[in-house]
């Protein structure tokens, strides 16, 4: 029976019985076996790891135990991304021959920069086209962290430094994925409702140019455009290849017809990014 090459323990993970109400209320029967689930990452070199153990020892290209390369030769010449093909057996069942490189990259990055968790979630929602989740996320940014967490415990310490503001989340560019913005992600995946929401919340695209429905939906979701002067316009963001969201739209074809060349997805030609009259903000206060 294989064991984890890192900690030498069986390739399972024990599930804590639900002990959420620990108010002296022992309704877990004594002597009950802890429940276990498979937790086995089977690398191409033959070694097995727990997911957490692999993440801990993780280096991108080699097995932490035997030092052999675990990077698969990419089948498509266009992709430069490393692939790490494994057989993964966990609570989701056995998945054979899957590429875990993207998840490993994501998780190890979040270990180093936990304060970017919301930003990462934001990009994911943009790719998936979940504009409602984006609205909820944006609204949650302004909240004080004195609220109860899911377990009803008051969170007392901020994990991993200051949390990001809504403006920062909206303008996040993916440092482990080509510096794509949320707008790039939405456009690449054909999500117009997300694109509209991002334009509303993070650009100076003229308010008169939005369909009424966009305002209606934003109102339902409880979000609205804030003062944009002096802030980065999401349309001006470029990915690592120097592409604006409009460039991505151009490549995506017919779905973005009517959006390309209209200044909706890129800064209008010659328009200043900010008009430099940031002093206006103070005179408008109150």
Which residues here bind Zn ion, judged by CB under 5 A? 4, 6-7, 45, 47, 50, 53, 63, 65-66
Distance CA 240, CA 25 (A): 55
CB of 46 to Zn ion, least distance (A): 6
DSSP 109: H
Number of CB atoms found within 10 A of residue 272's CB: 10
Nearer to Zn ion, 55 or 110 (CB): 55
Of 61, 198, 180, 162, nearest to 120 by C-alpha is 180
Tokens of 72: 């698969």
> Taking the complex as a whole, how short is the minimal distance between the CB of residue 2 and Zn ion, in angstroms?
11
Rg of the chain over CA atoms, in angstroms? 23
As measured in angstroms, the least distance from the Cβ of 58 to Zn ion is: 13
The CB-of-85 to Zn ion minimum distance in angstroms stands at: 14
Whichever of 6 and 171 has its CB closer to Zn ion, that residue is 6
Please state the closest distance from residue 7 (CB atom) to Zn ion, in A.
Answer: 3
Nearer to Zn ion, 68 or 132 (CB): 68
Residue 4 or 214 with smaller CB distance to Zn ion: 4
Q: CA quadruple 75, 78, 84, 85: dihedral positive or negative? A: negative
Nearer to Zn ion, 65 or 200 (CB): 65
Rounded to a whole number of angstroms, the minimum distance from the CB of residue 41 to Zn ion is 10
Place of tokens 């990419």: 74
Q: How far is the CB of 71 from Zn ion (least distance, A)?
A: 12
- CA 44 to chain centroid, in Å, comes to 28
Report yes or no: 50 and 41 within 8 Å, Cβ to Cβ. yes
Q: What one-character-per-residue DSSP string does 192-253 give? A: HHHHHHHHHHH----GGGS-HHHHHHHHHHT--PPP-TTSPPGGG---TTS--HHHHHHHH-
Phi-psi region of 222 (alpha: psi -120 to 50; beta: other; left: phi over 0): left
Shortest distance, position 224 Cβ to Zn ion, whole Å: 48
Closest to Zn ion by CB, 54 or 248: 54
Q: DSSP letter at 97? A: E
Residue 41 or 199: the one with the smaller Cβ distance to Zn ion is 41
Question: Smallest Cα–Cα separation from 9: which of 52, 51, 66, 49?
Answer: 49
CB nearer to Zn ion: give 47 or 247.
47
């Amino acid at each position: 029976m294989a064991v984890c090459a890192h900690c030498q323990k069986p390739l399972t993970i024990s599930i804590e019985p639900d002990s959420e109400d620990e108010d002296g209320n022992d309704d877990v029967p004594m002597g009950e076996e802890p429940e276990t689930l498979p937790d086995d990452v089977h690398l191409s070199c033959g070694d097995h790891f727990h997911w957490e153990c692999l993440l801990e020892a993780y280096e991108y290209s080699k097995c932490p135990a035997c030092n052999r390369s675990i990077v698969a030769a990419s089948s498509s010449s266009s992709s430069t991304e490393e692939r790490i093909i494994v057989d993964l057996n966990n609570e989701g069942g056995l998945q054979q021959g899957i590429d875990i490189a993207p998840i490993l990259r994501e998780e190890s990055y979040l270990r180093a920069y936990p304060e970017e968790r919301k930003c990462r979630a934001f990009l994911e929602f943009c790719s998936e086209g979940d504009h409602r989740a984006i609205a909820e996320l944006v609204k949650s940014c302004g909240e004080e962290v004195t609220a109860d967490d899911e377990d009803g415990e008051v969170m007392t310490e901020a994990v991993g430094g200051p949390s990001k503001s809504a403006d920062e989340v909206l303008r996040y560019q993916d440092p482990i994925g080509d510096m794509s913005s949320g707008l790039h992600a939405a456009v690449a995946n054909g999500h117009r409702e997300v694109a509209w929401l991002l334009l509303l919340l993070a650009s100076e695209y003229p308010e008169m140019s939005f369909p009424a429905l966009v305002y209606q939906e934003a109102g339902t979701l409880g979000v609205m455009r804030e003062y944009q002067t002096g802030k980065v316009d999401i349309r001006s963001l470029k990915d690592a290849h120097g592409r604006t969201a409009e460039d991505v739209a151009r490549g995506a074809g017919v779905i973005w017809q009517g959006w390309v060349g209209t200044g909706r997805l890129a800064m209008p030609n010659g328009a200043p990014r900010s008009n430099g009259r940031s002093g206006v903000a103070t005179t408008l206060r109150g």
